[in-house]
Each structure stands twice: as structure tokens, then as C-alpha cells.
Chain A
Amino acid sequence: MKQNFMVLLCGVIFGIGLSLSQMINPNKVLDFLDISGNWDPSLLFVMIGALAVTLVSFKWVLKRPVPLLAERFHVSNNASVDKPLLLGAAIFGIGWGMSGYCPGPAVGSLGLLSMEALFMVASIYTGFFAYNWLLARK
């Protein structure tokens, strides 16, 4: 119960952060990616604000043996820079640039009753399904 309350709170804070930074405005994201146009560096400042917290806090949190309300940390220890990582990131970036959405804003925009959000979430899940069932054959 306490765990689920914290998860809900974290989600709410994340959603407020996306709203305040206007990262749920896909044109603002495209204006960041459009370096040869009327460049809007805001997304870079969102990253700086977030990393200013997490670069310090994650080091501190991960010094603990276990989380406060769970039995272990689910953190990847994969350190190999391989082809799927870079090819996958490249493909993701193309989709991001085509739409102006990444996964967080796509979900968050459902709260704006945006039709675009419905199309984005549905097509992202179609991509998950295609990868999980056809490409990765898991």
C-alpha cells in the first residue's frame, strides 16, 4: 500500500514536471531538435535540471543496501556498448523527430485529452509488440 502510494506520487510529480517544462508540447520538443531553425534550447535545460538532481541523488541512494520500501534495486549492470543499443537509440531518435513525442510526454498528453496522445501511445505499443514478438522472438 505504502509502495503504491509512493509510486503514484512519483508519477504525479513526473507529470507536473513535464507540464511545467512544456515537454508535453511536441512543437517545443521539435524546436529543440531543429538546430538550424529557430532553436529553442529549453529541452537541454530540462535535462540539466533533472541531472543536477539525479547525478547527486542516485549516487547517494545507491549507497544504501536496499530501497526503503522494496527488497532490492532494479538497476541494470549491463556495461556493453553494442549494436542493439546504438541502432535502437538511432531508431528511437528518428521516431522522436518525426512526432515530437518521447514516451513520457506521449502518456502525459493523455491528460490533455489530446487525440495525438492516443495515436502515439497506440503506435508505441505496436512498436513494442513488433519488437518483442517478431524481432526479439522472446
Chain B
Amino acid sequence: MENFTPYTATAGGVLIGISVTLLLLFNGRIGGISGIMNGVFFSAHKDPVWRLIFLTGLVLGVVLFQWLVPGFNVTRQAYPLPLLLMGGFLIGVGTRMGSGCTSGHGICGIATRSLRSVLATLTFMATGMVTVYIIRHSMGLAA
């Protein structure tokens, strides 16, 4: 567990918690990123503007942090492209079918004491762990 970073992980989590709290308090919106992404192009209420602004802010936050603390996060190189493309496609389908992702179910949904979100979070963590086990240890890919 030499890669374990408990302090920065917890502090980063607190910031994410503050972000979704302010979004709910001021704008009445749930900070679920898959729903926000989807709504940019597929919103029933034709309201893509705030979603685009939020996602732009998200990217700007990463840029700002990278500028202040260069080299803290580096991009991954040479990961198998088919795993990315297939993975992304399944994320798109799965988060629509299941109405949320790590932030929507895992952080916001659980905070509303939603049983749906608790079960969704346990489910995607379980299938994620099985998938990584197969890819890394059974197939020996992308270790």
C-alpha cells in the first residue's frame, strides 16, 4: 500500500463534497457528472448552458491545480486503446441505464439516504473489482 495517500484523498473528497453541496444549495442541482454530461446534448428541458459551464469549471479546476502544483498529476501513457474505447462506451450505456455514476450515486445519492444509490454504488464497485481482477491477473493485461 505504498501508493496510499489518505490525507490528500480525504481533503480532495471534502472539496468534492463542498462542490456538490454548493451546487445543490444555490442551484438546486445534483452534481452527478454523467447526468450533467448527458444533459449537454440530450436534455429534455433544453438547458445545456449551466451544464457546459459546470464541466468547463471542472476542467479549469484541473488546469489551475496543475499550474499551481506541476507534476502532481501526470498523464498515463501506452494504455491499451481498445480498453479505453470499450470502457468508455460501457460507462456511457451503464450510467444512462443505471441513472448515475460515482458522483451521482456514490456521493450525492447516498447523501439523500437513497437505497437505490447505495445498491448502485456497491454494484459498480463490485463489477469494477471483478473486471480489474480479470484484466490484470487473469489476462495479464495493462498491469
Which residue on chain B has the smallest CB distance to residue A31?
B3
Number of chain A residues close to chain B: CB under 8 A = 118
Cross-chain contact of B60 among A11, A31, A74, A113 (Cβ < 8 A): A11
Inter-chain contact count A-B, CB under 8 Å?
Answer: 493
Type the 1/0 row for B80-113, where 1 means its CB is closer than 8 Å to any CB of A: 0101111111111111111101110111111110
B92 and A96 form a contact (CB under 8 A) = no
| B: interface residue count bin | 35 or more
B-chain residues with CB within 8 Å of residue A28 when the two chains form the complex: 3
Q: Contact at B58–A55, with CB atoms within 8 Å?
A: no
Binary flags per residue of A1-31, CB closer than 8 Å to B gives 1, else 0: 0011011111111111111111111111011
Let me know if B98 and A87 touch, CB within 8 A. yes
When distances are taken between beta carbons in the complex, the residues of chain B under 8 Å from A17 are 12-16, 18-19, 61
B108 contact set on A, CB distance < 8 A = 54, 58
Residue numbers of A with Cβ under 8 A of B are 3-4, 6-28, 30-31, 33-43, 45-55, 57-59, 61-62, 64, 66-76, 78-81, 84-104, 106-116, 119-132, 135-136
